[in-house]
Amino acid sequence: MDGIDTLRGKYLSAIAGAADEAALEEVRVAALGKKGEISALMATLGRMEPEARKAAGASLNALKDEIDAALRARKTALADAALDERLKAEWLDVTLPGRPRRTGTIHPVSRVMEELTAIFADMGFSVAEGPQVESDWYNFDALNIPPEHPARQEHDTFFMHRAPGDNRAPHVLRTHTSPVQIRALMERGAPLRVIAPGRVYRMDMDQTHTPMFHQVEGLAIDRDISMANLKWCLEEFCRAFFEVDKVELRFRASHFPFTEPSAEVDIRYSNVGGQLRIGEGDKWMEILGSGMVHPKVLQAAGVDPTQWQGFAFGMGIDRIAMLKYGIPDLRAFFESDLRWLRHYGFSPLDVPDLAGGLST
């Protein structure tokens, strides 16, 4: 077929001279588009004799492949040239000093949990853990909480959904970490000294309460434990936690189903110029509940109350964190505000240590 060499030279020159991708696209359309010259020649093959069609078809297909390969090569060359120009304009001086890396901060709740663990470990307590979704038996029955108790109503406790006809024992989001004490007693027996920190859930929400908060409970079981041991333990904890030389606690008679006798514990403090000072002044603040473990609780856990006795206590981790570090609103603990966390958070490398001081 005449003119093939002419077309080859024409379009190879046009491709080589294309200054950008837009010009290259115009060449492609003129040559290989639906109305392009090479496409038009391909359309005439049907009117040729078989022998002539065979020869012309082979020549046109070879030309088409050659033009297409040249187009691709030129497009790649143009893209590489554009990248080179961009790299010349967008340069980075690697000799500049590096930007300081931002490190994360430890949440006050996590920090206080570490402090609690360090303090009670020094007294011989280990850490026990348990599930946050508990059966009704572990959360209430084993702790001597009667069926008519207000805590067992839906306005106080989150009950898990049960399908109609499901006769299994109801499950709840645990309202305290006391079920962990039951599980620890059943698994390890007596004597026992454990603390149980963790999340708990109750139907409450205001400036000093949230539906989910953190609590730590302590349990000590032995043959001769008394309220005097409980008082010493709590005084030593408060002195170490608040990092003061002297604390004064006041025990007030109270009632908890799982302890007998039971006592609310207040700590002496003063408020001078908006600054809270623990261990001095003429004011009292409730910080925890405590008491001697009820015999029925020991029986439920498989421990003989005629041979063993002990004390238990519980306090809100979020609350004592607020007291120690001057945090005014409990709700801010759970708002995921990075500015708040940078202000009240702690360095990841600052590990609580009793010998060196918890907050140094």
Q: What digits encode the pLDDT tens for the residues 37-90?
A: 877 777 777 777 777 777 777 877 887 888 888 888 888 988 888 888 888 888
Any residues with CB less than 8 A from the CB of 122 and at least 6 apart, and which?
Answer: 240, 354
In this prediction, residues 191-202 reach a mean pLDDT of 94
Any residues with CB less than 8 A from the CB of 352 and at least 6 apart, and which?
Answer: 111, 114, 115, 118, 358
User: 290-303 pLDDT, tens per residue?
Assistant: 999 999 999 999 99
Average of per-residue pLDDT values in the chain: 87
How far apart are the C-alpha atoms of 157 and 211, rounded to whole Å?
Answer: 10
62, two tokens: 């070879």
- CB neighbourhood size of 24 (10 A): 21
> Lowest-pLDDT range, 86-95, 222-231, 313-322?
86-95
> Lowest-pLDDT range, 53-57, 104-108, 125-129, 327-331?
53-57
Highest mean pLDDT: which range of 16-30, 84-98, 102-116, 299-313 = 299-313
Phi, psi (degrees; rounded to nearest 5) at 331: -60, -25
Any residues with CB less than 8 A from the CB of 135 and at least 6 apart, and which?
Answer: 169, 170, 171
Phi, psi (degrees; rounded to nearest 5) at 279: 95, 5
Please indicate whether residue 101 or residue 17 has the higher confidence score (pLDDT): 17
> CA 335, 340, 346: angle at the middle one, nearest 5?
115
In this prediction, residues 92-105 reach a mean pLDDT of 74
Confidence (pLDDT) at 102: 72
Please indicate whether residue 273 or residue 197 has the higher confidence score (pLDDT): 197
Q: Is the predicted pLDDT of residue 248 greater than 70, yes or no?
A: yes
Confidence (pLDDT) at 228: 96
Any residues with CB less than 8 A from the CB of 196 and at least 6 apart, and which?
Answer: 127, 128, 129, 130, 177, 178, 180, 181, 184, 216, 217, 218, 219
Q: What is the pTM of this model?
A: 0.67
User: 124-168 pLDDT, tens per residue?
Assistant: 999 999 999 999 899 999 999 988 877 777 667 888 887 777 777
